Amino acid sequence: MANAELVTGPFVHTRPGAFTRQRLRFGYGMLAPAILYMVVLVGVPFLWSLYLSLSDATVGNSVAQFVGLRNFAAVLADSTVRQALRNTIVFTVIAGIFKAVLGGLLAFLLMQDIRGKKVLRSLLVIPWTLPVAISALAWKWMFDPQFSAINYVATRLHLMSGWPNWLGEPGLAMASVIIVNVWRGFPFAAIVLLAGMSAVPLEILDSAKVDGANFFLRFHYIIVPMIAPILFVGLLFDTVFTLTDISIVFLLTQGGPMNTTEILPTRALEIGIEAGALGRGAAIALLLFPILLPVVYFLLRFLGRREAA
């Protein structure tokens, strides 16, 4: 009764009791590590790169001058950076679609009651768990222009004519880095989807079956809506991971041939670290921010609305 009066009545200043203060302290104490982590490992580097991008800092010059948006103007005037921006979007979108499709198929496969399911699950996540340097080097050998195992097997099986130069031809090079990214990433997508699908009550699916709903109807009207929060969080993670993935391109093509696989992270590394122009390198890296921000905003907003509903 007292609570109801407090809520509906005028705002009353009350001194929080010892119990409330203790609870607040406990709550903030529990939150503190996460906040500290965000501030130190996300906030500070972000603000630092923002500062660098607005300065003429180089690796050898610690006394940087404020240059306003000159670095952004310079990098946007650079045709290679614009090409890298296009490549980044193409790389992320195409790889994302393939990971979603293959991850979904794999998740359904792993849902089935088959023998050796646990072993199969363990084997299928190996690409995701392997260190990227090792798997990328293995792929590099498979794409080697002279000793490609893919070409050797495919030509022997008459699946392919000629001897494609996977990493040397512009279209094929982009396809190759996408293939490796998808190969590495789709087990993660499968695990995320599997976790979501395992939470869908079987009774609902069974009753839909009884009502005559086929697989696609069940998938569209029951499974997807129920696992949407997990789907969106998975999509968000994957988008961020793919947009910022430097290792596969760096190890396979270094952005070549003719910058056709150059993506923003590799360009930022070349300019900011290898060439030493920290200001311009930071500006290139921050070009990802306006791409990521709306994606994250709309996904989180959508999730928030769903939860509220």
| Contacting range for other proteins; rule: CB under 8 A; set: 123-131, 195-203, 237-245, 251-259 | 251-259
Scanning residues 95 to 134, which ones bind other proteins (CB under 8 A)?
none
> CA-CA distance, 171 to 120, in Å (whole number)?
33
Q: Which one of the spans 117-125, 153-161, 168-176, 189-197 is the region binding other proteins (CB under 8 A)?
A: 168-176
The three-class DSSP label of residue 97 is helix
Supply the Cα-derived Rg of the chain in whole angstroms: 25
Asked if residue 48 lies in contact with residue 42, where contact means CB atoms within 8 angstroms, the answer is: no
Confirm if 160 and 154 have CB atoms less than 8 A apart.
yes
| Per-residue binder mask for other proteins (CB under 8 A), 6-45, x = binder | ----------------------------------------
Residue 155 makes contact with other proteins by CB under 8 A:
no
**Angle at the Cα of 280 (from 275 to 281), degrees rounded to 5?**
65
Locate tokens 């009353």: which residue? Answer: 12
Q: Looking at 50, 51, 64, 74, which residue binds other proteins (CB under 8 A)?
A: 74
Say how far apart CA 164 and CA 153 lie, in whole Å.
12
Query: In the structure encoding, which two tokens stand for residue 249, read together?
Result: 């391109």
**The binder of other proteins chosen from 72, 98, 139, 166 (CB under 8 A):** 166
Residue 139 makes contact with other proteins by CB under 8 A: no
Minimum CB–partner distance for residue 36 and other proteins (Å) = 21
Question: Is 170 one of the binding residues for other proteins (CB under 8 A)?
Answer: yes
- For the four alpha carbons of 167, 276, 82 and 47, in that order, the dihedral sign comes to positive
Contact call for residue 153 and other proteins (CB under 8 A): no
Nearer to other proteins, 160 or 233 (CB): 160
How many residues bind other proteins (CB under 8 A)? The answer is 39
Q: Which of 26, 147, 152, 302 binds other proteins (CB under 8 A)?
A: 147
Q: Which among 176, 190, 177 has a CA at the least distance from the CA of 102? A: 190
User: Tokens 């005037």 appear where?
Assistant: 77
By CB under 8 A, tell whether 51 contacts other proteins: no
- Does residue 270 bind other proteins (CB under 8 A)? yes
Q: Half-sphere exposure of 258 toward its Cβ, with a 13 Å CA cutoff? A: 5
Which residues contact other proteins by CB under 8 A? 58-62, 70, 74, 77-80, 143, 145-147, 165-170, 173, 253-259, 269-271, 273-278, 280
